[in-house]
Structure 1
Amino acid sequence: MKILSFGSLNYDYTYEVEHFLAPKETLAAKSMQRGFGGKGANQSIAFARAGLSVYHAGRVGTDGQPFVDYLKQNGIHTDYLIKDDAAATGHAIIEVCRGENCILIYGGANQEITTEQIDHTLKAFSPGDWLVLQNEISNLPYLMQAAQKKGLSIFFNAAPYDVGILTYPMELVDVLCVNEVEACALAGTETFEADAVLTLLHEKYPQTRLLLTAGSAGSYYLDAERRLFVPCEKVQAVDTTAAGDTYSGYFLAGLCSGSSVEDAMRLATKAAGIAVQRKGAAASIPEIKELK
């Protein structure tokens, strides 16, 4: 079994601020940190640091060689990563205030994924392999359909949410991971109550296993046979930027390593709890040895 993370790569510019910017306001940042991120890259890093072999497919610009080197240094296969001479690598502007964040994303090369690149990449993967996705690259519906035809299992982290997700072939997704905002949007409700929202999502996507992360309130799981809840450990959050990506990566890593769903949730919860106590995105994701 192989894991293919087909996803975004962003240079992150993280600014620590006293409060989030308001319209017409100019604010001096307390600090600035440049690093590697993007939900796709973060999830790949989480897989690798959990001890699994992962292939990352995606696109960087002419400025992307440091990113390629970083992935390789973390043990990630970059055979299906393309350098785009006509686009810049994606980047994100991140404001962090007392552990919470606001993020502005420029897709860049992430939005230049072609059907040809998808077809070429999927040739190397077989039934039983996992395809890991998030909503930061182009041509996702085509990618989902092509992967399903190849017999791959699909893990989709529906972040960041936009209305285009409602047109995706979600019935092809094996595991859907959402936070509170994404869950409510997909379920068509403005009121968040975990069990009720999960029930609505299960009615909408009955064949899909549902994973809901609710920050410090813990995480929830629902499929046709069971409903689970795992609470969070109490920690002092410094930066939550990669918390969800860390959770997603470690959850699927647990499943792929033979853990039960509940044990995979506990592993993911512990990993995310460590990540939020550190600054940065990919840099905050812990090694598996730190969880023992």
Structure 2
Amino acid sequence: MKRPRIAVVGSLNLDLVVSAERMPQAGETITGESIHYIPGGKGANQAVACARLGAHVDMIGAVGDDSFGSSMLAELEKNGVSTGTVSRLTNTPTGIASILHTRQDNCIVIVPGANGKVTPGLVEQAAETIRQADILLVQLEIPLDAVEAALRIARSAGVRTVLNPAPARNLPAELLELADYFTPNETEFAFYRESIPANSTPPEAEADWQNGLAEWARHYGHTVILTRGREGASYLQDGSSVTIPAPIVQAVDTTGAGDCLNGALGFGLASGWSLEQSLRFAVRAASLSVTKFGAQAGMPTFSEVNL
């Protein structure tokens, strides 16, 4: 099997993870159980996911010239990600994500730091890296003009793209039309469906997501892959819905599961697999990722997914 080459344009954060028995109520102070400092950011997570599976991965983004930035770069390199196209910005902190983790769920607050200063010019400096890739992965934790710049470079070079539209933001049509694959979760897709022009058929119920996928694809010309947590992932093929079910696992930490799915999907597509084969592989990889603590630490290897 050829080794796929993947470019990831996106965020690099240090995750400050506080574990607690439960979420505090508004205005309440509770005692946490532990704190961990874990490399994260949707871009970096997806890059590690691809690299752990065996891809050649180039990370494009920015960190601060601080200890957090050094830690982020060292962790990426340890996992086999090339960091030559990650800029180190002076007088700017590395981005952080403050995560409250309970046995039931997570809530996350992000401070962009250097991620907020990823410009189209910075992306353009890595244009040749994008052009040489088999696939480009992008998310929305960096400025939208930088995301669009990356997608335009890829489109001009015939490089396929996966847009993971998280966290959900209002996106211009010209950006959406540059993506080949669009991978929202159910909550995100409900948000994005509201942006479809008013003369379209409105969603009638949650079960109407199949119509939503078809409607979205007609407007923007790309394939929508709806990630559905424990239900797996769904897409349309020849007008009919296809759902790839997720295996039943004992979840320890769901942080990064979506990033794992996107990374593994990109790995499969970049390897020349069909969409169905790629998504089956990705759903299994994401399910395995939640059985370990930490977004990047939980990313499985190729042999683990292919057992």
Q: What do the CA deviations read for 1:200-231 (whole angstroms, capped 9, x no partner)?
A: 322322x2011110001111022566642111
Q: CA RMSD in A?
A: 1.9
- Output the CA distance in 1 between the equivalents of 2:295 and 2:280: 21
Partner residue, 1:28? 31
The Cα of 1:124 is off from its aligned counterpart by: 3.6
1:57 is aligned to 60
Range with greater deviation from structure 2 (275-284 or 92-101): 92-101
Partner-residue secondary structure (3-state), 2:177: helix
Question: Counterpart in 2 of 1:97?
Answer: 102
The question of 1:179 aligning with 2:185 is answered yes
Offset at residue 284 of structure 1 (A): 1.2
Q: Is the 8 A contact 1:13 1:32 kept in 2?
A: yes
**CA deviation profile, 1:98-126 (whole Å, cap 9, x unmatched):** 24211111111001012221111103443
Q: How many residue pairs end up in the alignment?
A: 290
> What is aligned with 2:140?
135
Q: Counterparts of 1:167 and 1:259 in 2: how far apart (Å)?
A: 29
In structure 2, the partner of 1:203 is 218
Runs of 4 or more above 6 Å deviation = none
* Structure 2, gaps ≥5 residues long: 195-202
Counterpart in the other structure of 1:160: 167
| TM superposition shift of 1:235 | 1.5
Alpha-carbon shift at residue 167 of structure 1 (Å): 5.5
Q: Does 1:170 align with 2:176?
A: yes
Kept in 1: contact 2:100–2:108 (CA 8 A): yes
Does residue 111 of structure 2 align to residue 106 of structure 1?
A: yes
Cα distance in 2 for residues equivalent to 1:190 and 1:282: 38
CA distance in 2, matches of 1:75, 1:177: 25
Confirm or deny: 8 A CA contact 2:232 2:245 kept in the other structure: yes
Displacement, 1:268?
Answer: 1.0
> CA 1:85–1:38 in 2, change beyond 3 Å: closer, same or farther?
same
- Change over 3 Å in CA distance of 1:128–1:19 after alignment to 2: closer
Q: CA deviation at 1:67?
A: 1.0
Alignment partners' CA distance in 2, 1:8 and 1:128? 19
Q: TM-score, normalised by structure 1?
A: 0.93
TM-score normalised to structure 2 length: 0.88
Describe the shift of the 1:224–1:109 C-alpha distance in structure 2 as closer, same or farther (beyond 3 A).
farther
**Where does residue 257 of structure 1 map in the other structure?**
271
State the 1:174 CA deviation: 0.5
Q: Distance in 2 between matches of 1:246 and 1:72?
A: 18
Structure 2 partner of 1:82: 87
Secondary structure at 2:297's aligned position in 1? Answer: helix
Unaligned runs of 5+ in 1: none
